[in-house]
Amino acid sequence: MATAPVHPASLRLRLLLSPLKSRIQVPMAQRATAFSTAVTSAKIPVNGVNLHYHRVGEGEHALLLLPGMLGTGKTDFAPQLQNLNKQRFTVVAWDPRGYGYSRPPDRDFPRDFFERDAKDAVDLMKALQFKQISLLGWSDGGITALIAAAKYPSYIRKMVIWGANAYVTEEDSRIYQGIRDVSKWSEKARKPLEALYGYDYFAKTCEKWVDGINQFRHLPDGNICRHLLPLVQCPTLIVHGEKDPLVPRFHADFLLENVKGSRLHLMPDGKHNLHLRFADEFNKLVEDFLQ
């Protein structure tokens, strides 16, 4: 949402997906170290569905990585799975229900879908026997993280969010409408998601997401989770790319004003996928904050 192109989805997804071929290879375990560097994946039953996740590292500090719309743990967080400190952290990156390999069921968007994702995320980590966790949430995953931190304050140690918003404006709705028709996306942006989902599911789910997120526009103040922000107790780092074409700066400023004790880190050249494009800088920022 800053200097947005004609089709903002093409920009978001082109930037998101172009580096993935070289990034999503799973690193092999290194025998020379005393800790595992192998990324494992599995499914576990949670709240009536089988949730898929990737896991790496053996550190005491458990991190859950929460992806954005149509995203998965692997596609949205490859540089974090590979490069976050595996001695300090145990990193889990999940596929929310209806996304990636957490299917069936198909993804749907009732009014409480963010609350449902927050409960699924927390219950997943409890099922994996983590006693307390920190959250790294991008875009929709950032909204889910905010809700989880507000509703389960004793379980969340710290939180990093970027590309997230607590409400929907008319400006946001116009941008969402611009991504509804995936046939207008560039081929480079479409093909990886078509390969993951098949064209029909990909196209249908994108349309359903636009309708699902736009329903908040019709609530008082466009509310998604703004009423929950005062309940967040954990230290919170808000990261914002000043060239983000999908999320205007005012959303980051609102979070800063309403999440007690939070702080805002601006990345002048960052766009929506700043954690991928500037992965080394982002990872260091996260590790320093979580220490």
Question: What residues are annotated to the active site?
Answer: 139, 244, 272
Is the distance from CB of 153 to CB of 234 less than 8 angstroms? yes
Dump the DSSP string for 98-127: TSTTS-SSPP---TTHHHHHHHHHHHHHHH
Q: Report the alpha-carbon distance of residue 153 to residue 166 in Å, rounded.
A: 18
- Cβ-Cβ contacts under 8 Å for 291 (sequence gap 6 or more): 88
Strands 89-95 and 49-56, bridge-based pairing: antiparallel
Is the distance from CB of 104 to CB of 92 less than 8 angstroms? no
Strand order in the sheet with 61-66: 40-46, 49-56, 89-95, 61-66, 133-138, 156-162, 236-241, 263-267
Strands 61-66 and 89-95, bridge-based pairing: parallel
Would you say the C-alpha torsion 238, 147, 68, 215 has a positive or negative sign? negative
Over the range 186-221, which residues count as b (16 or more CB within 10 Å of their CB) and which as e?
A: eeebbebbbebbeeebbbebbebbbebbbebbeeee
Give the residue ranges of DSSP H helices in the chain. Answer: 8-17, 20-23, 73-76, 78-83, 113-127, 140-151, 170-178, 187-197, 199-214, 249-258, 274-277, 279-290
Q: Report the alpha-carbon distance of residue 143 to residue 2 in Å, rounded.
A: 20
